[in-house]
Structure 1
């Protein structure tokens, strides 16, 4: 939580902010929840909403016991983690790992409006740590409104009578929120070269696009584009396009009476035998066996 042991001049605005929302779970209830199934994996200990938080500042020279997540929705501020300083503007979300020294503050000229939460649990480090080898203290969200709705729901649960059921519900919302942040940390921004390349491949499932041609279309070198694909998806452009083709093939096999030869042609394979071998390599079975499975 926002530790009261820190002197007021280092904590900022002890009287709070107009229309703020602030929820602090009693510490004995936290300890009890951390011994229960599910909430021991992820537990929200504190959460809130600070609008136009003029004078807001927190300094923790030894870090906090919990991992802290802050989403800026208006105004601006800065977050310092060790020697690194991160500017916070609308749509920016920062994750501060437990135990990491930090100093965050609202801008004097344009103080931020933030949603925030503190979380503990056995799965927190994995949910908030690097994905695909990418460190992500700061994430630029693709859909801020969706994250705000989750924060609002989470705080709403904690504003009610705190009980094991409400803590469980808050944990579920926090899990959704953290996984959304994790996805946004690696997915490309709307209109970026990588996003445009992905969108083009998604519309061209019936053909094969050389990496050099794709790179030229978005103004990057082949090596740079391939590196961006590997960072975002774990594989290169070819692997991404194959995954798109296989998804389309599954849809056709599940929802149409098209022959395997027709499905193969629809996803850019002129040789149905090669398509079948490729399908088996991806799915562990050939297209005919896949189609015969009972689904749903």
Structure 2
């Protein structure tokens, strides 16, 4: 059996770019800003009937396949994964694999091959969050526009600036699969994630001091379940996280207002300014007074 069996009869509207390997070797591999993650091939196959590829020994690139319509099957080292609309999969480098579009309901896919010294860690994060190579994302027009932007810029050539832009953008594109709930966050009118709801509740009530029970109630969860879930998703206990965003707001007050330390503490629901100063110093590594002084000095130096 061949190690690289391919059948592509051509699909109406298909597009693909294979970056010249000498371009990658010269401009990406030795460049510290590009060598972490860079595209080697990229394309879009609509209604790709008879699309099939088999590689017994894998390749030295990772492959992302994102299905937006139809159906297909991917096999990685003998394990089968069915991809429907909204599913994506990452095929690791150097692993035997095959993939095929369903003949009765052929898939429409966006795909890319990529490599770099940061890719293994990045995909490890994706696999950890998705609990496997396959995942699902909500359809988001911004994700498609980002892909098209990458593709169109590559079509215009392989200048150094183009390679910088498309590969930095591609990192963002990949992150949209790892953090689907965060991608294009500003356009999402509401969130069904209880942790996001609780954080929004905190942000709207920075002037208040809450107990764990009160914050958990905002997410309609028991305190114990909420606390465990919150720490799993953010890495912090809820109250500690609440204090962090209070201090984040305090930094803004120190930088952009003439409020005194005592006034800032009161605005954030903290009656004891000395307790506030200790909390600020622990989180920021400097006292509020020193933070304000440093920011003022920085602004003065920039104006010179």
The interval holding the TM-score normalised by the smaller chain is 0.7 to 0.9
**Alpha-carbon deviations, 1:47-88, whole Å to 9, x = none?**
011122233343434333111122333344444444665554
1:73 corresponds to which residue? 68
CA distance in 2, matches of 1:16, 1:179: 30
Contact 2:41 2:112 in 1 (8 A): yes
Specify whether residues 5 and 34 from structure 1 end up closer, same or farther in structure 2 by C-alpha distance, changes over 3 A only: farther
CA distance in 2, matches of 1:221, 1:206: 24
Contact 1:186 1:231 in 2 (8 A): no
CA distance in 1, matches of 2:80, 2:230: 28
CA distance in 2, matches of 1:22, 1:132: 26
Secondary structure in 1 matching 2:277:
helix
2:106 corresponds to which residue? 111
CA distance in 2, matches of 1:235, 1:132: 22
> Following superposition of structure 1 onto structure 2, how do residues 1-296 of structure 1 map, counting pairs within 5 Å?
5-7=3-5, 11-12=6-7, 14-37=8-31, 38-82=33-77, 86-130=81-125, 134=129, 137-141=133-137, 144-184=140-180, 190-292=191-293, 293-294=295-296, 295=298
**Alpha-carbon deviations, 1:82-125, whole Å to 9, x = none?**
46655544444433221234344444554332221111112222
CA distance in 1, matches of 2:241, 2:127: 15
Specify whether residues 164 and 36 from structure 1 end up closer, same or farther in structure 2 by C-alpha distance, changes over 3 A only: farther
So what's the TM-score if we normalise by structure 1? 0.82
Contact 1:95 1:137 in 2 (8 A): yes
- With 78-87 and 240-249 compared, the bigger mean Cα shift is at 78-87
CA distance in 2, matches of 1:66, 1:147: 22
List runs of 5+ in structure 2 lacking aligned partners.
300-304
Contact 1:73 1:144 in 2 (8 A): no
Secondary structure in 2 matching 1:146:
helix
Specify whether residues 22 and 129 from structure 1 end up closer, same or farther in structure 2 by C-alpha distance, changes over 3 A only: same
- With 267-276 and 63-72 compared, the bigger mean Cα shift is at 63-72
Specify whether residues 51 and 257 from structure 1 end up closer, same or farther in structure 2 by C-alpha distance, changes over 3 A only: same
CA distance in 2, matches of 1:196, 1:236: 15
CA distance in 2, matches of 1:221, 1:259: 38
CA distance in 2, matches of 1:99, 1:220: 44
Deviation of 1:18 after TM superposition, in Å, equals 0.8
Secondary structure in 2 matching 1:129:
helix
Deviation of 1:149 after TM superposition, in Å, equals 2.0
2:302 corresponds to which residue? none
List runs of 5+ in structure 1 lacking aligned partners.
none
